[in-house]
């Protein structure tokens, strides 16, 4: 069946964390047939592409981003026939399938690493192996080669006696980094992409792809650069261009996840003339509630900073001819409704959580770029709020809980931080109904069901006027229909001193002008003159019309000239 090729500027992508979307066989884990069974729901929402997180064989030490075989389906998620069926059924509904390519590292269970462990020189050269500092010779580990930290806490190096070397792992210890300076590694990775392309998929998401080119010289991080030290490395553009050309995916729908990146690099990753990717994810806007830039230290979201980051990225990518992926949530993030909505609890229908969810959706969907809806965004899902650390499954959350205890935090405080920051916030099962296990599984779910499922669920929202689901559906339609949103210019506006928590911007195309204003404040505020007196209101998240020159708590309004 022909691949789905849609204009990415008009498209909306829906991200599925396969493990938590829908379980068809009662083993408590989401699977591919589960997704196929929900295609009509997704078609009703109107999305164009589905990005599926990894469903390949994996020991699951990092939620499937630790892959032991790139070309197969883990039996817990189904079979290759199930995959083919999902693609065929999605295509029937004009929905494309995008796969997650995790090519920066493998699992240590991958055959390549296993062969390296067995002493095969060819495969030892697939990984980044170094001698220890101060080692007296073979067999003596000495100290880690550099002081680099991995993403999930602790050193990025592990001594492996069977290799007689330290290996680099920028993520979990079970995820050794591939050595992209080795041409054979680059060819092997291109081959993986080609394999899935030939199987009929329509696009790709590349995991931490800006970390594939490591620094030329391995030196200690003395200035506290952290991940920026490995990001956007010296050969990254060359490797990406080569990958895209070899796999034959230039012009396909592609997105790169760019950790600790820069605007300049993202312009280069996504300018069509550079033949790298269609668009990039950057994360600066999701660090505005990190105290001193530290994920595990809480702060209130700084909306002034959020505005300035959006402005930089929106106007900067536009000026450079690049293209942004727009998103609030994914499987690595806490739910934005909780995060930016004053920790909005779910009290009743029509409560603050709904207003916040709709405001966030407007803010995102009307910017310049391609919006990504993460499963459950369209329902207004919030952080689950687990009661104990045992309920968390994520390696990062569990590691940092321990680190926080070691640093002197009490268990209650550490649990509170984990509840705010854990990646499991985004990994709780999709809420299909108010039935036990939220209609996600007939068995025991692999991770706990949030209490909010009784109110926030698809059954209660699909087809219900004014619901979050129907609001998202209308935004998807708007995106498809509107040239000014898809391709118009974007420019940020000053909402004035009395609106410090308002993000306002305009989109223009020819004579048409849209003005968007979104309040992140829990109190009313006055707006500066945005030049909209004679405009009509085309969209809002309150039932009644906005008052001139003012916004109510968490209000979002779109005016058209
Ligand atoms: C980014 C993925 O989104 C995350 O879930 C994973 O842990 C890391 N990359 C490592 O693959």
pTM for this entry = 0.98
Q: Which atom of ligand 1 is nearest to the CA of 152?
A: 7
Q: In CATH, what number is assigned to the domain containing residue 138?
A: 3.90.400.10
Q: In CATH, what number is assigned to the domain containing residue 496?
A: 2.60.40.1180
Given 439, 473, 507, the domain boundary residue is 473
257 in active site: yes
Residue 349's SS3 state is: coil
What average pLDDT does the chain have?
A: 96
- The pLDDT tens digits for 321-345 are 999 999 999 999 999 999 999 876 6
Given 142, 168, 194, the domain boundary residue is 168
372 occurs within a structural domain: yes
Mean pLDDT of 239-255: 98
User: How do beta strands 203-206 and 96-101 pair?
Assistant: parallel
As a whole number of angstroms, the distance between CA 327 and CA 471 comes to 17
Model confidence at 414, pLDDT cuts 50, 70, 90, reads very high
Q: For atom 5 of ligand 1, which residue has the closest CA?
A: 332
Residue in the block written with tokens 């047939």? 33
- Domain span at 464: 13-104+183-473
257 occurs within a structural domain: yes
Q: Out of 82, 257, 378, 506, pick the active-site residue.
A: 257
The answer on pLDDT for 315 being more than 90 is: yes
**Structural domain tally of the chain?**
3
User: Distance from the CA of 64 to the center of ligand 1, in angstroms?
Assistant: 9
User: For residue 208, what are its two tokens?
Assistant: 């931490």
Q: Are residues 248 and 125 in the same domain?
A: no
Q: Which atom of ligand 1 is nearest to the CA of 104?
A: 11
User: Distance from the CA of 65 to the center of ligand 1, in angstroms?
Assistant: 6
| % of the chain surpassing 90 pLDDT | 96
As a whole number of angstroms, the distance between CA 396 and CA 404 comes to 12
User: For residue 458, what are its two tokens?
Assistant: 């698809």
Contact between residue 214 and residue 233 where contact means Cβ atoms under 8 Å apart: yes
Ligand 1 pocket mutation pick from 65, 66, 396 by most atoms within 8 angstroms of CB: 65
Contact between residue 513 and residue 561 where contact means Cβ atoms under 8 Å apart: yes
Measure the CA dihedral 355/361/363/364, to 10°: 160
- Determine the pLDDT at residue 1: 58
User: Distance from the CA of 347 to the center of ligand 1, in angstroms?
Assistant: 33
317 occurs within a structural domain: yes
Q: For atom 6 of ligand 1, which residue has the closest CA?
A: 65
User: Distance from the CA of 355 to the center of ligand 1, in angstroms?
Assistant: 30
364 in active site: no
Q: For atom 11 of ligand 1, which residue has the closest CA?
A: 65
Q: How far is CA 128 from CA 115, 156, 177, 214, in A?
A: 14, 11, 6, 10
User: Distance from the CA of 290 to the center of ligand 1, in angstroms?
Assistant: 19
Q: Out of 66, 207, 289, 377, pick the active-site residue.
A: 207
User: Distance from the CA of 134 to the center of ligand 1, in angstroms?
Assistant: 32
Encode burial over 357-389: b for 16+ CB neighbours within 10 A, e otherwise: bbbbbbbbbbbbbbbbbbbbbbbbbbbbbbeeb
| % of the chain surpassing 70 pLDDT | 98
Total Cβ atoms within 10 A of residue 21: 24
Q: Are residues 407 and 268 in the same domain?
A: yes
3 occurs within a structural domain: no
Q: For atom 2 of ligand 1, which residue has the closest CA?
A: 207
As a whole number of angstroms, the distance between CA 439 and CA 126 comes to 43
- Determine the pLDDT at residue 351: 74
Ligand 1 pocket mutation pick from 102, 204, 281 by most atoms within 8 angstroms of CB: 102
Q: From the DSSP assignment, how many helices (H) and strands (E) are in the chain? A: 16, 20
Contact between residue 256 and residue 233 where contact means Cβ atoms under 8 Å apart: no
Residue 364's SS3 state is: helix
Q: Are residues 83 and 133 in the same domain?
A: no
Strands in 316-461 per DSSP E: 325-326, 370-374
Given 427, 446, 473, the domain boundary residue is 473
- Residue 518 pairs in a beta bridge with 503, 556
User: For residue 206, what are its two tokens?
Assistant: 């590349």
Model confidence at 306, pLDDT cuts 50, 70, 90, reads very high
- The pLDDT tens digits for 484-519 are 999 999 999 999 999 999 999 999 999 999 999 999
As a whole number of angstroms, the distance between CA 41 and CA 481 comes to 21
Helices (H), ranges, 251-381: 263-270, 303-320, 336-340, 352-365
- Determine the pLDDT at residue 171: 98
Q: Are residues 203 and 65 in the same domain?
A: yes
User: Distance from the CA of 207 to the center of ligand 1, in angstroms?
Assistant: 6
Model confidence at 352, pLDDT cuts 50, 70, 90, reads confident
Q: Are residues 446 and 520 in the same domain?
A: no
Residues 6+ apart with CB under 8 A from 258: 208, 209, 210, 231, 232, 265, 266, 269, 280, 281, 282, 283
The answer on pLDDT for 2 being more than 80 is: no
436 occurs within a structural domain: yes
As a whole number of angstroms, the distance between CA 145 and CA 258 comes to 25
481 occurs within a structural domain: no
- In eight-state DSSP terms, residue 248 is T
Q: Are residues 27 and 155 in the same domain?
A: no
448 occurs within a structural domain: yes
Q: Are residues 341 and 452 in the same domain?
A: yes
- Residue 358 pairs in a beta bridge with none
As a whole number of angstroms, the distance between CA 63 and CA 151 comes to 14
User: Distance from the CA of 59 to the center of ligand 1, in angstroms?
Assistant: 15
6 occurs within a structural domain: no
Ligand 1 pocket mutation pick from 20, 171, 374 by most atoms within 8 angstroms of CB: 171
Ligand 1 pocket mutation pick from 103, 256, 261, 332 by most atoms within 8 angstroms of CB: 332
Q: Are residues 98 and 118 in the same domain?
A: no
- Residue 205 pairs in a beta bridge with 100, 255
Residue 59's SS3 state is: coil
Q: In CATH, what number is assigned to the domain containing residue 317?
A: 3.20.20.80
- The pLDDT tens digits for 119-136 are 999 999 999 999 999 999
User: Distance from the CA of 151 to the center of ligand 1, in angstroms?
Assistant: 9
Q: For atom 3 of ligand 1, which residue has the closest CA?
A: 332
| Residues making up the chain, counted from first to last | 561
Q: Which atom of ligand 1 is nearest to the CA of 53?
A: 3
User: For residue 501, what are its two tokens?
Assistant: 């928590």
User: How do beta strands 165-168 and 253-257 pair?
Assistant: unpaired
Q: Which atom of ligand 1 is nearest to the CA of 171?
A: 10
Q: Are residues 467 and 328 in the same domain?
A: yes
As a whole number of angstroms, the distance between CA 295 and CA 361 comes to 24
Contact between residue 301 and residue 288 where contact means Cβ atoms under 8 Å apart: yes
Q: Which atom of ligand 1 is nearest to the CA of 62?
A: 7
Strands in 290-350 per DSSP E: 290-291, 294-298, 325-326
Residues 6+ apart with CB under 8 A from 44: 462, 473
Strands in 68-202 per DSSP E: 96-101, 129-130, 157-160, 165-168
Q: Which atom of ligand 1 is nearest to the CA of 396?
A: 7
User: Distance from the CA of 175 to the center of ligand 1, in angstroms?
Assistant: 10
User: For residue 121, what are its two tokens?
Assistant: 């020189």
Q: Are residues 53 and 145 in the same domain?
A: no
Contact between residue 241 and residue 275 where contact means Cβ atoms under 8 Å apart: yes
- The pLDDT tens digits for 151-181 are 999 999 999 999 999 999 999 999 999 999 9
- The pLDDT tens digits for 524-539 are 999 999 999 999 999 9
- Determine the pLDDT at residue 185: 98
Mean pLDDT of 175-193: 98
User: Distance from the CA of 332 to the center of ligand 1, in angstroms?
Assistant: 7
DSSP 470-535: HHHHHHHHHHHH-HHHHHSEEEEE---TT-TTEEEEEEEETTEEEEEEEE--SS-EE----S-TTP
Output the CA angle 513-514-518, nearest 5 degrees.
150
Q: Which range has the worst mean pLDDT, 59-68, 343-352, 476-485?
A: 343-352
User: How do beta strands 279-281 and 253-257 pair?
Assistant: parallel
Q: Are residues 158 and 307 in the same domain?
A: no
Contact between residue 28 and residue 441 where contact means Cβ atoms under 8 Å apart: yes
As a whole number of angstroms, the distance between CA 251 and CA 254 comes to 8
- Determine the pLDDT at residue 347: 63
Closest by Cα among 83, 74, 96, 76 to 199: 83
Q: For atom 8 of ligand 1, which residue has the closest CA?
A: 65
Q: Are residues 121 and 46 in the same domain?
A: no
Residues having CB within 6 Å of any atom of ligand 1: 62-63, 65, 102, 171, 207-208, 257, 331-332
């Amino acid at each position: 069946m022909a691949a789905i090729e849609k204009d990415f500027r008009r498209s909306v992508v829906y991200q599925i964390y396969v493990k938590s979307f829908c379980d068809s066989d009662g083993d408590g884990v989401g699977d591919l047939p589960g997704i196929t069974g929900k295609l009509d729901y997704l078609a009703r929402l109107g999305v164009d592409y589905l990005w599926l997180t990894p469903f390949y064989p994996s020991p699951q030490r990092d939620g499937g981003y630790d892959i032991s075989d790139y070309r197969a389906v883990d039996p817990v998620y189904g079979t290759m026939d199930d995959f083919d069926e999902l693609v065929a059924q999605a295509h029937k509904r004009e929905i494309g399938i995008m796969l997650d390519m995790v090519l920066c590292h493998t699992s240590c269970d991958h055959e390549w690493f296993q062969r390296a462990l067995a002493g095969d020189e060819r495969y030892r050269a697939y990984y980044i192996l170094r001698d220890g500092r101060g080692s007296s010779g073979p067999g003596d580990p000495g100290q880690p080669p550099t002081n680099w930290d991995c993403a999930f806490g602790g050193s990025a190096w592990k001594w492996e006696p069977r290799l007689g070397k330290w290996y680099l792992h920028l993520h979990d210890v079970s995820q050794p980094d591939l050595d992209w300076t080795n041409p054979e590694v680059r060819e092997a990775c291109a081959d993986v992409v080609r394999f899935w392309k030939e199987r009929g998929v329509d696009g790709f998401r590349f995991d931490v792809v800006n970390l594939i080119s490591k620094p030329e010289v391995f030196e200690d991080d003395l200035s506290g650069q952290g991940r920026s030290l490995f990001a956007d490395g010296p050969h990254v553009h060359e490797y990406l261009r080569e990958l895209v050309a070899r796999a034959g995916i230039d012009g396909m729908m592609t997105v790169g996840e760019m950790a600790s990146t820069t605007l300049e690099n993202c312009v280069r990753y996504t300018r069509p003339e550079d033949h790298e990717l269609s668009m990039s994810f950057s994360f600066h806007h999701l660090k505005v509630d990190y105290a001193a830039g530290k994920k595990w230290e809480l702060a209130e979201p700084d909306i002034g900073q959020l505005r300035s980051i959006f402005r930089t990225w929106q106007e900067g990518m536009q000026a450079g001819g690049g293209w942004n992926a727009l998103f609030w949530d994914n499987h690595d993030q806490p739910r934005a409704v909780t995060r930016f909505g004053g920790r909005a609890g779910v009290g009743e229908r029509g409560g603050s959580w709904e207003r916040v969810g709709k405001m966030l959706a407007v803010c995102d969907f009307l910017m310049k770029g391609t919006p990504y809806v993460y499963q459950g965004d369209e329902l207004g899902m919030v952080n689950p709020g687990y009661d104990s650390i045992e309920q968390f499954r994520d390696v990062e959350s569990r590691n940092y809980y321990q680190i926080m205890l070691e640093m002197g935090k009490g268990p209650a405080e550490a649990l509170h931080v984990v509840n705010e920051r854990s990646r499991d916030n985004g990994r709780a099962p999709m809420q299909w109904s108010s039935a036990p296990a939220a209609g996600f599984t007939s068995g025991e779910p692999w991770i706990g069901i949030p209490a909010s499922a009784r109110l926030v669920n698809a059954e209660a929202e699909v087809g219900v006027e004014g619901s979050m689901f129907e609001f998202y559906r209308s935004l998807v339609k708007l995106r498809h229909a509107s040239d000014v949103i898809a391709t118009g210019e974007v420019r940020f506006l000053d909402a004035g001193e009395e609106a410090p928590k308002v993000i306002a911007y305009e989109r223009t195309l020819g004579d048409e002008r849209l003005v968007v204003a979104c309040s992140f404040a829990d109190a009313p505020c006055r707006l500066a003159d945005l030049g909209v007196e004679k405009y009509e209101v085309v969209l809002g998240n309150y039932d009644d019309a906005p008052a001139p020159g003012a916004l109510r708590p968490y209000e979002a309004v779109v005016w058209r000239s």
